[in-house]
Structure 1
Amino acid sequence: MSDTFASPPLATSWGDLPVTERMPVLFVGHGSPMNAIEDNRWRQSWQALGGELLARAQPPRLILCISAHWLTPGWQLTAMAQPRTIHDFGGFPQALFDQQYPAPGSPQAARFISQSVRQPASNQPLALDENDWGLDHGAWSILKPMFPAADIPVIQLSMDYGRPAAEHFAIGQQLSSLRERGVLIVGSGNVVHNLRTMRRDAADNQAYDWAIEFDRVTAEHIAQRRLSSLCEFQHLGAAAQMAHPTWEHYLPLLYAAGAVHADDEPRFFNEGFQGASISMRSVVWA
C-alpha cells in the first residue's frame, strides 16, 4: 500500500495539502479486546461511526491514534511504512489472536508531526519509532470495525506516563491544527477502568457507585466545555483512585480534549459499562 504523504517532497508536502473541512476528533472507550470481534452494541456503534466518517465529502486522509497501551519515556510516533498488528493481551480465544489490521503507516507524515510538536518539558521534537511498535489493540480493535478496508494510513502516538496530566492535554492542543489537513485524531482508552473490581455478570447499565460518579463528573466537564478541568481528575479523591488505580486509560481522553476547537460540539455515544467498572462512554467532537 502506498504512503499517502509520499509526494511531493517533505519540505513542502504538508503545507501544500489543501485545507480540508475540519475533521472530527474522537475519544473511544475500547473496553475488552473481545469487542473487536463480538457482535455487540459497542462494536456496532464503531461500525456506524466509521460509515459516517467515510461518507463525508472529505473522509480522513490519516488517522493519528493515542492508545492507552503504548507508554514510553518521552513521546514517540510510529514511523514505519507497515506497522505490525500487536496482540498485547493474554487468555483470549485464538480468533482474537488471528486478527490482523494491515493499515499502512506514513513515515513522511510521522516526520512532519515529529517536527511540528514539541514535548512540553524538554521542548524536544517527538521521537520516531521506525522498527519496534506498531498498532496495539487499543488502536486496531476499534479501527478495524470503523475502517475495515484498512486503507487509511495510521500513526500511533505514545504517552509518557510519568508526566503530569496538563502536559498530555498540551500535546493535544498542538495536534489540533492537523484536523484541518485531513487527520482524524482518535484517543482510545476508558473514562473508568478498574480491572481489579470487574464483575463479568454485570449488565451494561450496572456499575459501582464510584464508577457512576466519576463517569458523570467527566461527562459534565465535556458537555459544559470545561475541558481543561479534565486534567484535574485526581482531585475527585477516592472516586478517582477507584476509577483509575493507574491512569493510562484516562490519559488518551486528554489528548482528544486538547485537540478540540471552541466551536466543536460534543456528542456522546456508547454510554454504559462493561463488568461494572469499565466505562464505555465515548465522544465525538465535530
Structure 2
Amino acid sequence: MSNTTMPCLFLGHGSPMNLVLENSFTEALEALCKELPTPKAILVISAHWYTNQTAVSISSGIAYETLYDFYGFPPTLYEMSYPSPSNNTLSKRIATLLDAPLVERGLDHGAWMPLHFLFPKASIPIIQLSLNKNLPLSLHVKIGEQLQVLRDEGIMIIGSGNITHNLGMVDFYNINAPAVQWAQNVDDFVHQAFTCNDVESLVRIEERCPDFKTAHPSIDHYLPLLYIAGTRKKEDELKILTPFFQNASLSMRGFMLS
C-alpha cells in the first residue's frame, strides 16, 4: 500500500438507487476506481452521520456492519453489503487527533454506497467521522485542516453528500430531467468558490448565495464539502468529478484534490 500523499475527494452520492442503476454517475465512479491509488485506510465524512457531536467510528468486530439507513427501495439493495475491515488503532489515533469520542457504529449508505464503486473489494479499512450539527460552518473547515496530516500517512479522506439536496423538490420519475434554476445557481456558486479555493464564500454561503436555503432545507449534505476544503494543500491539483445533475435538483458534482 502507498505511503505517498493521498488524494481527498468530495462526492455527491444521490439516491441509493444508484447502487443498482447503470448511468453516467456510476460509470464515472467505476472509471475513477481505476485511477485512484490504494490507501492504507479511508476516512469518510458522510452526510448520514449527523449528530450532536464530532465522533469517530469504531467496531467491536473485524468488519463493519453495513447499515441500510434508507427505506422503501427494492429488496436487491438490502441484499448488498460492504464488509470493510475495521482499524480500531487508527480510529483511536483520529479520535486523539480531534479530541473526539469513539462510537461503535456501522457504515451508513453515504459511506458504503460510493465505496461500492470506488473500492469494490471492500478490503480497505474504513472509518467514519460524524458531523456535529451544532458547529458553525467555519469549524467544520477547521476540523478538515486538522485531518490534513492524515493524507501524508496514506489515508484517503472522502466527504460524501450533495451540493444540492432538497428531497421535496426531486423529480423521482426522471433521473435525466434538466436541472432546475435554483439548483443550477447553487451548483455554479459552489463550483466557482471551491475551484478558486474561496473558503470564505463556502463558509458564508447562506448570505452570499440566495438559493442556498432552497437547496438545503437541512445542511447535512453540504457540510462534508467543508471538511474537504479544509484538507486542501497549496500544491494540490483540482479535478472536477461528475459535473451533472440527477432528478432535476440533485447536483452530483464532486471534486478531487491530489
Q: Same fold (TM over 0.5)?
A: yes
| Residue number in structure 2 paired with 1:181 | 153
Instruction: Choose 1 or 2 for highest CA Rg.
Output: 1
Provide the residue aligned with 1:85 in structure 2.
Answer: 66
Conservation of the 8 A alpha-carbon contact between 1:105 and 1:155: yes
* 1:71 aligned residue: 50
Matched, 1:151 2:119: no
Q: Which residue of 2 aligns with 1:27?
A: 10
Q: Secondary structure at the match of 1:193?
A: coil
Question: Taking every aligned residue pair, what percent have the same amino acid on both sides?
Answer: 39
After superposition, give the CA deviation of every residue in 1:190-240 in whole Å (9 maximum; x if it has no partner): 001110011134464611111101100100011112134211111135401
Q: Amino acid of the residue matched to residue 86 of structure 1?
A: L
Gaps in structure 1 of 5+ consecutive residues = 5-18, 118-124
> After the TM superposition, which parts of structure 1 deviate over 4 Å for at least 4 consecutive aligned residues?
none
TM-score by length of 2: 0.95
1:44 corresponds, among 5, 27, 35, to 27
Pick one of 188, 193, 215 that aligns with 1:221: 193
CA distance in 1, matches of 2:109, 2:17: 10
Whichever residue aligns with residue 28 of structure 1, its letter is L
The CA deviation at 1:79 is: 1.2
- Counterparts of residues 136-285 of structure 1 (less than 5 Å): 136-202=108-174, 204=176, 206-236=178-208, 238-285=210-257
C-alpha distance in 2 between matches for 1:200 and 1:134: 28
Where does the alignment leave 5 or more consecutive residues of structure 2 unmatched? Answer: none
Residue in structure 2 matching 1:126, options 95, 100, 113: 100
1:62 corresponding residue in structure 2: 41
Deviation at 1:25, TM superposition (A): 0.4
The letter of the residue matching 2:229 is A
> Does the 8 Å CA contact 2:9/2:159 hold for their aligned counterparts?
yes
Letter in 1 for 2:83: P
CA-based RMSD: 1.5
Residues 76 and 127 in structure 1, CA contact (< 8 A), matched pair in contact too: yes
Between the two proteins, the alignment pairs up a number of residues equal to 256
Q: Is the 8 A contact 2:171 2:177 kept in 1?
A: no
